[in-house]
Structure 1
């Protein structure tokens, strides 16, 4: 079996495609034959050591979190999934390992893949979908009829948030690059503004302001809010975390794998109301250079990088 792993924290040059011996699934775990895995920005940050206080210093460490595939074996205590089930989900941050032929995951982090959903489309949604869902519903308290502003509405989390909000009968405005405004409108965002927009014309119009990527000045976010509205950021910077514990509208979401939320995301993907564009699909044998290219030119990427067997 092969997987992408690294023997020290660092840049893209530390990634290697190497043979490994898969662990047997333990209690509450499953072994999945990976049919597709998806890259996320966090893959690179974790490999660089930005979360080493969580991931530790034991090497080699594997890469990749989001995947879809077929269950090959189950450990003790697994009751919801069986050998042969088609599934989607993710791995714990400390374990990783989705960029591989097979991966061990916790049953609670994995759900059945909708029958009509391709493995590639299934792998593209877990992290960004769960983050958007928890940001809007758990932290933002989204309700039908709410007005939502999504900063960076065409990124992975932002695009997911737009689709989730619209499916729940909210209205959505948002920001993106000027050259992508038509794409945002086609997704259902209106009005669409550039990243350096003046908040005055949109003042006090929104129940939720979601900062899905990149910086949005807190002053600008506050100006957009209706009285009693909420600002939700997916950026757990020290400054944001400090402000979020003080009285005020700012809340920070650190997405956590909740089985019911993964099922909600999977169901929406199966129904076609939650999808991520796929920019490129490569076999595992070509994944290291593709990941390197994505990392070095990520701002220009339009959609997900998907890694398949081979």
Structure 2
């Protein structure tokens, strides 16, 4: 089997496409033959060593977390999934390894793929969908008829969060680049403002403010809230974690691999109320180059980079 892996923490130059021997699934695990995998910024953050206290120093390490594919084998105690099931999901942060022909994952982080989704569409969903759902519904507690503002509404999590809020029956505004306001209006959002907007122009307008871009000062977000409103940041930095421990409207999200949440995200994608755009698709043999370009140059823009295994 082939996978992208690295033998030390570092920049994109440490990535290699190499042979590896996939482990057999243990208790509560599934082995999936990967059909597609999606890139996320956390891929290179973890590969750089930013979370080595969690991921450890055992090498080689695989790269990538979000995937779709077909269940190849199951471990003891697996009950929701069976060999041959088409699935989507995420590997654990410690194990990783989705940019590969095979990946091992905990059953709790894998759900059945809706039949009307391609493998490429399915692979794009897990991380952004889970984060968006948990930010908007679980932490944000948004309800039908309320209003939400998404800072960074056209990013991966921002777009997903906006779609989830709209499907819930909320009105949704957001911020994005000035050149992309047409896309935001096309999603059904309003009001739309550019980055660096004056929050006083939106004072007291929203029940929920979700900061996906980590560019909205907390005091500014609070000014935009109605009485009893909530601010949710998806960036669990030490400063944000400390800020969220203080009584008040500010909350920080640490995304969790909750099976029921991932199933809800998959159902939303199957219904067509959640769509994550795909900007580029490359085969595994070309993935190291494409991942390097994405990390260093930010290309492609406007959607996910998807790696396929043929």
TM above 0.5, yes or no, is yes
Residues of 1 paired with 2:154 and 2:297: CA distance? 17
1:271 aligned partner: 271
1:43 aligned partner: 43
1:77 aligned partner: 77
SS at structure 1 position matched to 2:158: helix
Residues of 2 paired with 1:225 and 1:10: CA distance? 41
Return the offset for 1:299.
7.1
Residues of 1 paired with 2:45 and 2:215: CA distance? 17
Q: For 1:31-70, what aligned pairs fall within 5 Å after superposition?
A: 31-70=31-70
Greater mean alpha carbon deviation, residues 290-299 or residues 99-108: 290-299
Q: For 1:123-134, what aligned pairs fall within 5 Å after superposition?
A: 123-134=123-134
Per-residue CA distance 1:108-135 (angstroms, 9 max, x = gap): 1101100111000000010000001001
* Aligned: 1:171 with 2:165: no
Per-residue CA distance 1:8-66 (angstroms, 9 max, x = gap): 11111111101000000011111100000000010010001111111011111110000
Return the offset for 1:300.
6.2
Per-residue CA distance 1:166-209 (angstroms, 9 max, x = gap): 00000100000000000011011101100110111210010000
Residues of 2 paired with 1:205 and 1:300: CA distance? 34
1:307 aligned partner: 307
* Aligned: 1:110 with 2:119: no
Return the offset for 1:213.
1.6
Question: For the Cα contact (< 8 Å) 2:279–2:300, is it kept in 1?
Answer: no
Q: For 1:225-304, what aligned pairs fall within 5 Å after superposition?
A: 225-298=225-298, 301-304=301-304
Give runs of ≥4 in structure 1 deviating > 6 Å: none
Question: For the Cα contact (< 8 Å) 2:121–2:276, is it kept in 1?
Answer: yes
Residues of 1 paired with 2:302 and 2:214: CA distance? 16
Residues of 1 paired with 2:230 and 2:299: CA distance? 28
Residues of 1 paired with 2:240 and 2:30: CA distance? 36
Return the offset for 1:214.
3.0
TM-score of the pair, normalised by structure 2: 0.99
Per-residue CA distance 1:229-249 (angstroms, 9 max, x = gap): 100000111111111000111
2:214 aligned partner: 214
Unpaired runs of 5+ in structure 1? Answer: none
Residues of 2 paired with 1:187 and 1:89: CA distance? 26
Unpaired runs of 5+ in structure 2? Answer: none
1:25 aligned partner: 25
Per-residue CA distance 1:83-141 (angstroms, 9 max, x = gap): 11000000110000100001011111101100111000000010000001001111111
Question: For the Cα contact (< 8 Å) 2:128–2:160, is it kept in 1?
Answer: yes
Return the offset for 1:280.
0.2
Residues of 2 paired with 1:231 and 1:39: CA distance? 27
2:4 aligned partner: 4
TM-score of the pair, normalised by structure 1: 0.99
Query: C-alpha root-mean-square deviation of aligned residues, in Å?
Result: 0.9
SS at structure 2 position matched to 1:172: strand
